[in-house]
Amino acid sequence: MATLLKMTWSGYRFVIDETLADPRTKTWFLVAKPYQVLCVLGLYLLFVLKIGPNWMKNRPPYNVDKLMIIHNVVQVLACGYVFIEMIVYAWGWNYRWVCEPVDFTDHPHAMNVAGFVYHYYMLKCLDLIDTIFFVLRKKENQISFLHVYHHSIMVAVVWGATTYLPGGHGTLVGMINSFVHVVMYSYYLLTVAMPSVKNSLWWKKYITQLQIIQLAWCCLHMAAIVFKPDCGYPRWSAILFLPNNLCMLILFVDFYIKKYFKKPKQKVEQVQIQNGETKKQLFEDTIAQQRFKVI
C-alpha cells in the first residue's frame, strides 16, 4: 500500500510539479492544481443539479435581471477583449493555420499568448454563472444535458490547455469561441434589458448555426495536426480535443434539429388535428340540425 501511494505521488509530481506542466503558468490562480478545478466543477454540478433546485422548489423565482445585465455586459466586453487579443498576438499574422507549435520561452510575445489563454480559461469559469441564474429563475427546462456538459467540459479542457499547452495550434478554438460569445451574450443582454424586443429578435436561430459552424471548424482545425507528423504541437492533444468537439457538434446539431425542424412540424400536425376535430364537430352539428328538422 505504501509503495502504491508513493508511486501515485511520484506520478502526480511528474504530471503537475516537475515535468509536464508549463512552469510559466502553473503558479497562476486555478491552474496546475487539479483539485482546485475539480472543486469548482464539483460545487457547480452539486448546486445546479441538486442543492439549487431543492432550495428553489417551494420558493418563487428570483428577479435577477440587474445581475444578468451586469453579467452579460462583462461577458461581451471580456470576450471581445480576448478575441482582439488573440488576433493581435496570434492569429492575425503571427500564427500558421495548418500547424503552430507552442512557444514555451519567456519571450514577451510568448508570455502574452500564454496570458490570453489564461484569460480565456477565466471566461470559461465565468460562464458557469449562466446556469446559476437558470436555477434562481426556476428555468429548469434550460438546464439541459447539453448546457451542463458544455460548460463543465470547457472548463476542464481549457484548464488542461492553460496548464500544459498555453499557446500554439489549439488557441484558434478560443479565438473563434470568444467571437461567438460576443454575439451570444449581446443577444442575451438585449433580451434582458429590453424584454419587449425578445420576440422580434430574429437572430436567435442563427446564433445556434454560428455555434455549429465554429465547432465544425474547430474539428477540422484540430484534425489537421493528426495528418501532419512533423508539427511541433503534440498530436496526442487531438485525441482529447477532437472527441470533445465532435460530441458537442453532434449535441448542438441534435438540439438545432429538434428546436427548428421537428418542433414546427409538430405544430403543423397539431393544427391539422385541431382543424380535423373542428370539421368533425361541424359535421356532427350539421347532422344533428338535420335530424332536429326532420323531427
pLDDT, tens digit, 9 for 90 and up, residues 168-225: 999 999 999 999 999 999 988 988 888 877 776 677 788 888 989 999 998 899 888 8
**10 Å Cβ neighbour count for 80?**
16
Residue-wise pLDDT tens digits, 110-127 = 999 999 999 999 999 999
Residue 261 confidence (pLDDT) above 70 = yes
Q: What is the CA radius of gyration of the chain?
A: 25
- What are the CA-CA distances from residue 179 to residues 38, 94, 241 (Å)? 27, 19, 19
* Mean pLDDT of the 4-19 span: 59
Confidence of residue 227 (pLDDT cuts 50, 70, 90): confident
98 pLDDT tier (thresholds 50, 70, 90): confident
Average pLDDT, the chain: 83
Which pLDDT score, from 0 to 100, does residue 236 have?
A: 84
- Of the listed ranges 12-16, 81-85, 257-261, the one predicted with least confidence: 12-16
Mean pLDDT computed over 32-36: 89
Over range 78-100, report the average pLDDT.
Answer: 91
| Cell triple for 292 | 332536429
* Residue predicted with more confidence, 288 or 197: 197
Residue that is written with C-alpha cell 428577479 in the block: 63
User: How far apart are the C-alpha atoms of 181 and 57, rounded to whole Å?
Assistant: 31
Question: Looking at the chain, how many residues does it have?
Answer: 295
C-alpha cell at 265: 412540424
Neighbours of 202 (CB within 10 A): 7
Helix axes 237-257, 145-164, angle to 10 degrees: 160
Q: What is the pLDDT of residue 295?
A: 38
Known catalytic residues? 150
Global pTM reads 0.82
29-34 mean pLDDT:
90
